[in-house]
A and B are shown apart, each in its own frame.
Chain A
Amino acid sequence: NAGVTQTPKFRVLKTGQSMTLLCAQDMNHEYMYWYRQDPGMGLRLIHYSVGEGTTAKGEVPDGYNVSRLKKQNFLLGLESAAPSQTSVYFCASRITGTTGELFFGEGSRLTVL
């Protein structure tokens, strides 16, 4: 049972390049989330999804897009990367309802030069 898997784990981009981070979960969870973690800022929610085909903006959505075409996958896209998007990105998932344990992936470290 892999849980939440993120790919790639590391990536270096130049300003203006695009890329997609993939999150896959094998727990049949409805809810999925993308966070970024920066020193002194904690975990900040970028986008989230409460089910296949649905997405919503979180706290810091600008510069990112997401898609949830399949229940088990949640993609985070950067169309034109900026140095301010240098961060560690975490994907998480949980069961349906107002509360429940968040299961996190191991993170994707992105550097934008």
Chain B
Amino acid sequence: QKEVEQDPGPLSVPEGAIVSLNCTYSNSAFQYFMWYRQYSRKGPELLMYTYSSGNKEDGRFTAQVDKSSKYISLFIRDSQPSDSATYLCAMGSPSGTYKYIFGTGTRLKVLA
């Protein structure tokens, strides 16, 4: 079993839809949870960062962490064609190993 599981998609939604992207994980030591966005033929860029459990909101984006279920989510409200990209979840622990574990990424396409 992979440490981090993420549905690869692709996920196609109409413009304006609410998008829900999810990852599950198995390592209870993870404390730092991130979402990266990667446009085609570009490097990933940080979208959201959350420490431990709870919600974090930034504009149209909301990140949720449920540590009891080992489940994290990214919600995109009022989705736009410019949101079409691959979204990767990433996780880290405070164990001092300096490494993040990435999910495989979910391809999202928002149709105009």
Contacts and interface: CB of A to CB of B under 8 A. Distances in A.
A4 B44 CA distance: 12
A102 B104 contact: no
Interface string B5-35: 0101000000000000000000000011010
Given A99-B32, A101-B49, A43 B44 contact: yes
Interface stretch (A13-21, A60-68, A71-79, A104-112): A104-112
Interface string A75-113: 000000000000000101000001101101111000000
Contact of B104 (A31, A42, A48): A42
B98 A98 contact: yes
Nearest to A44: B102
Interface residues of B, number: 28
Given A31-B98, A48-B99, A98-B96, A41 B104 contact: yes
Contact of B99 (A45, A90, A105): A45
Interface of B: 6, 8, 31-32, 34, 36, 41-46, 49, 51, 88, 90, 92-96, 98-100, 102-105
